[in-house]
Amino acid sequence: MSHLTDKYRAASRARNQLPDVPGQMMEDVLGQAQLQRRTLLRGSFGATFAAAFGGSALLSACGGGSDDVAAAPAPAPGPAPAPAVSYDVTFKGIPAMVGDQVFIPEGYTMDVLFAAGDPVVAGAAAYTGTLLDSAGYEKVSGGNHDGMHFYPLAGVDPNKGGLLAINHEAPDVQILFPAGFTYNAGTATAEQKKIALSAVGVSVIEVELASGKWAVKANSPYNKRYSGNTVYNVGGPAAGVVGPTVVGTLNNCASGRTPWGTYLTCEETTDNYLDPTQPANGYGWVVEIDPQGSFAATKRTALGRFDHENTDYMVDADNSLAIYMGDDSTPGCVYKFVPSGKYNPADRAANQNLLDAGTLYAAKFNADGTGQWIELTQGKNGLVVGAQDPGNFTQSAVPPAPVTVDFATQADVLLNTKSAARVAGATLMDRPEWVSVGPDRKIYFTFTNNGGRQVTDAANPRVTNSHGHIIRWTEDGDTAKATSFKWEMFLLAGDPRLTAANLKGNINGDTFSSPDGLGVDPKGRLWVQTDASTSATTTNTFGNNAMYYVDQATKESTRFLVGPNGCEITGLTYTPDLTTFFINIQHPTGTWPSNVQGNALPPRSATIVVRRTDGKPVGA
**Do 487 and 450 form a contact (C-beta atoms < 8 A)?**
no
Helices 3-15 and 26-33 cross at an angle (nearest 10°) of: 120
At residue 524, the 3 state secondary structure works out as coil
Instruction: Give the residue from 568, 456, 498 showing the smallest Cα distance to 34.
Output: 498
Q: How many helices (H) and strands (E) does the chain have?
A: 11, 33
* Contact assessment for residue 471 and residue 445, using Cβ atoms and an 8 Å cutoff: yes
DSSP E strands: which ranges in 134-216? 145-151, 161-168, 201-210, 213-216
Cβ contact 290:262 at 8 Å: yes
Burial 434-451 (b: 16+ CB within 10 A, else e): bbbbbeeebbbbbbbbbb
The answer to whether 592 and 174 are in contact (CB under 8 A) is: no
Buried b (16+ CB within 10 A) or exposed e, 539-550: bbbbbbbbbbbb
CATH of 3-39+56-65+86-345+354-612, one of 2.120.10.30, 2.60.40.1120, 3.30.1130.10, 3.30.565.10: 2.120.10.30
- Residue 378 · residue 408 · CB < 8 Å: yes
H or E stretch including 134?
Answer: helix 134-137
Q: How far apart are CA 415 and CA 407, in angstroms?
A: 10
Residues in Cβ contact with 114 at an 8 Å cutoff, skipping those fewer than 6 apart: 141, 145, 164, 166, 203, 205, 207, 216, 606, 607
Quick check: helix, strand or coil at residue 148? strand
* Overall pTM > 0.85: yes
CA angle centred on 452, ends 392 and 534, rounded to 5°: 130
H/E run at residue 511: none
CA distances from 564 to 4, 23, 145, 416, 585 (A): 17, 26, 15, 39, 8
Q: What are the residue boundaries of the structural domains of the chain, listed by start?
A: 3-39+56-65+86-345+354-612
Query: 213-228 b/e with 16+ CB inside 10 Å = b?
Result: ebbbeeebebbbbbbb
User: Which residues have CB under 8 Å from 61's CB, separation 6+?
Assistant: 101, 102, 103, 104, 108, 109, 110, 596, 610
Helical (H) or strand (E) element with 39: none
DSSP 8-state assignment for residue 119: B
CA distance 445 to 494: 17
φ, ψ (nearest 5 deg) of residue 368 = -90, 10
pLDDT in tens, 350-368: 999 999 999 999 999 999 9
Preceding peptide of 593 cis, ω within 30°: yes
CA torsion angle for 549, 550, 552, 554 (degrees, to 10)?
130
DSSP string, 220-258: -TT-EEE-TTSEEEEESTTHHHH-SEEE----EEEEEE-
Q: pLDDT for 559-601, tens place per residue?
A: 999 999 999 999 999 999 999 999 999 999 999 999 999 999 9
Strand 59-61 vs strand 224-226: parallel, antiparallel, or unpaired?
unpaired
Mean pLDDT, each 10-residue run in order, the chain (620 residues): 68 61 54 39 30 32 34 50 89 98 98 98 97 98 98 98 98 97 97 98 98 96 98 98 98 98 98 97 98 97 98 98 98 98 98 98 98 98 98 96 98 98 98 98 98 98 98 98 98 97 97 98 98 97 98 97 98 98 98 97 98 97
- What does residue 271 show for φ and ψ, rounded to 5 degrees? -155, 175
Instruction: Report the C-alpha dihedral over residues 377, 233, 202, 198, rounded to 10 degrees.
Output: -120
3-state secondary structure of 283: coil
Cα–Cα distance, 432 to 415 (Å, whole number): 19
> Rounded to an integer, what is the distance from CA 404 to the centroid of its chain?
33
In this prediction, residue 14 carries a pLDDT of 65
Cis status of the peptide bond prior to 331, with omega within 30 of 0: yes
What is the end-to-end Cα distance of the chain in Å, rounded? 30
Per DSSP bridges, beta strands 370-375 and 484-492 are antiparallel
- Give Cα 26 distance to the centre of its chain: 17
Q: How many CA atoms lie within 13 A of 497 on its CB side?
A: 17
Burial class (CB in 10 A: 0-12, 13-18, 19+), 204: buried
Distance between CA 45 and CA 49 in Å, rounded?
Answer: 5
d(CA 302, CA 284): 12
Backbone angles phi, psi at 301, to 5 degrees: -75, -20
Residue 77: per-residue pLDDT: 57
